[in-house]
Amino acid sequence: MTDSTVDAAKTEYAGRSTPGKLVEIARYFLFIGIVGFGGPMVHIAMMEDDLVGDESKEWTEQSVFMEGLAICNMLPGPASTQLGIFMGWIYAGTKGALVAGFFFMLPTFVLVVFFSWLYFAYQQVPAVEAVFYGINPVVIGLIVGACYSMTRSALEEGRTDVAFEIRGNSWNVDYLLVVLLVATTLVQAVFGPNPVLLFVLSGLLGVAVYRSDWVRSNARRIAPWAIVGALFAFRDRLLETAGPAVRTVVEASPIWGALLVLWTNPWVQLFAFMIYTGSFIYGGGLVLIPFIETYVVSEFGWMTGREFVDGIAIGQLSPGPVVMTTAFVGYKLILDVTGGVVALAVVGALVATIGAFGPSFAFIIGFFPYFARIRENEIVRTALTAVNAAVIGAILGATVLLAEESFIVEQPALPVPIAGTVFDLFAVVLGVATYWLFVRGVHAAYLIAGGGAIGVGAFFLL
């Protein structure tokens, strides 16, 4: 796609807004935001049926819809939300995109904020504690179950080194992608690095292996970028090696001082981190997990791992994207720093949501035609094949750390000591059962509700 084609695409895709169109967009996406339980695939199917196939409400052609879906799947962020923004954009321009995204997310935001208030207001009540005692391991099982489905799709994108069937499903496995998935799982679980670093390294390795001829022929062009990437990846160690003199010069800079002052403000921290997260959660909403676990739980200490898993459960109970869990995070942070002011905590949830979903609006409204051009690049597509496997590994690695707080508790209902560690057999069995049921098609909302009910019984009876 040439530059002139990109300019033409802007004119072709972006529609013109009218008051009637904006009202129509608001009504439709408010409806889908309320009834769209079942995850991204349900949202996508509803949009295709209602907005493409219905002649009385045809917003675009099938080919444009499929192009938008393909690019939204390639972009960081929740694909179904971005597709909704895209549909509003092609129908009524920038205003249509903003209205579509706002009303699509509004019901989920209201639900998540409401449940966040209930959770933190009554978290210490034994009955509430009992409910989430059962929900916690269920969420772990759901995450692993989702990774099972994602793994099958990701491994099929590479070469077919071996093929087999599991429960009637065909698996075409690429050994390199398996190695990447396992390696990133172990590295994320043991060291907890920045997930973006794992994604970049995996993409580079994929290009080096799959497109070795291209790498050799473009070695001179690649070398400077490789050096810059290495310097960035090992910047902390390089700064330590350079000695305290360099650090003193950097820290004496007025720019550094201004940045430190800004970073001490929790509102700035929250918004900046959510923009960063929203820009890199490639591969679906669950990629939020390694980002939040690495920074919000482990580094920043904004919440415990158990609280974060409970926040994922709240996000799963809503009809919208799991990324709305960021509202739960924002609510908790501002609730703590303001000493329990609920009104400001709600604003914190809103700030987190705007930061996390803001990049999705920017990608569609500002850069969609350019992403369409990038998508045609074979090198980018090759890199993304490797990144897909690394994404699953990062999710599983972070889930291992979160599972420790679900399966290893201070007062387990059914204690089982293994190698000096006391596991809660009830939680482990519930997590495994959830995984088994989820991969066989049982809806996540039913499993969460059932886990909460079982948890109450186990909490008070065992």
Residue 402 class from Cβ within 10 Å (0-12 exposed, 13-18 middle, 19+ buried)?
A: buried
Instruction: Tell which residue, 288, 287, 259, 284, has the closest CA to residue 272.
Output: 259
pLDDT at 345 over 60: yes
**425/259: higher pLDDT:** 425
pLDDT at 80 over 50: yes
Q: How far is 394 from 155, CA to CA, in rounded Å?
A: 15
pLDDT given for residue 38 in this prediction: 67
User: What's the pLDDT tens digit per position in 279-317?
Assistant: 988 867 788 889 888 999 989 999 999 899 999 999 888
pLDDT given for residue 68 in this prediction: 87
The dihedral region occupied by 412, where left means phi > 0, alpha psi between -120 and 50, and beta the remainder, is beta
pLDDT at 319 over 70: yes
Query: pTM here?
Result: 0.85
The residue written with tokens 């089982």 in the block is 416
Q: What are phi and psi of 413, to 5 degrees?
A: -65, -45
**83/406: higher pLDDT:** 83
11 token code pair: 């004119």
In terms of DSSP H, where are the helices of 156-211? 175-190, 195-210
pLDDT interval class at 56 (50, 70, 90): low
pLDDT given for residue 22 in this prediction: 95
pLDDT given for residue 241 in this prediction: 65
Instruction: Tell which residue, 310, 248, 243, 323, has the closest CA to residue 284.
Output: 323
Provide the mean pLDDT of the chain.
Answer: 85
pLDDT given for residue 12 in this prediction: 56
pLDDT given for residue 62 in this prediction: 83
Within 8 A by CB and 6+ apart from 101, the residues are 29, 81, 84, 85, 88, 357, 360, 361
CB 333 within 8 A of CB 351: no
Instruction: Tell which residue, 79, 19, 22, 87, has the closest CA to residue 50.
Output: 87
User: What's the pLDDT tens digit per position in 407-444?
Assistant: 876 666 667 776 566 788 888 999 999 999 998 888 88
Within 8 A by CB and 6+ apart from 320, the residues are 33, 36, 81, 104, 105, 107, 108, 109
User: What's the pLDDT tens digit per position in 184-224?
Assistant: 999 999 988 889 889 988 988 999 999 988 888 888 887 77
